[in-house]
Structure 1
Amino acid sequence: KSNSLKASGFALKGTRFVFTRSSSEYFDEDGHLAHEFYRESNVKSKKGKYTLKRITKGLYKQGKVKLEIPRLNCEFPVVIYEG
């Protein structure tokens, strides 16, 4: 199976499909995976009142994620037409 496509007398190298994508989720120190992390913190001026603070430190990206179904590459210069 070749990764080139001949169109109009020239060859296009690459593939029409995308098999992985960059994840938008993060891991925390405990290994939990989520888009955002929050922690409860006590409000000092009001007794018994708590608020949520967003955690931004100590997180690392999930990285590349394999797609279950391959997607079409938006940068591949071929017109797809079904008549």
Structure 2
Amino acid sequence: MSKPVYKLMDHRGRVLIPKEFREAADMEYGGILALNLCDGQVMVRKVELIEVGDQSPEAVEAYVRAAIKTMPDSIRLSLISDLSGLVQQKGE
């Protein structure tokens, strides 16, 4: 086991995962992380899929971001167009 790394949590509850940790765990921008609480300790692990039944907004966003990475550019552009239209409708 390696020597612990200490990080400060910011005022919004965010903690930066060091680059060497992210690289070793193959974590990248838009990746899905599962957070669990076990005996007062926060456990973090990279996952490829959201667990069945979790329909929280955070889980849905993580799923959509992961799915978009695998889509062809033509579908991505179509989704961007659809989402832009929804945002414009909401603003009216």
TM-score range, shorter chain: under 0.3
TM-score using structure 1 length: 0.18
TM-score, length basis structure 2: 0.17
Question: Which has the higher relative contact order, 1 or 2, with Cα contacts under 8 A spaced 6 or more apart?
Answer: 1
- Report the structure, 1 or 2, having the larger strand content: 1
Greater share of helix residues, 1 or 2?
2
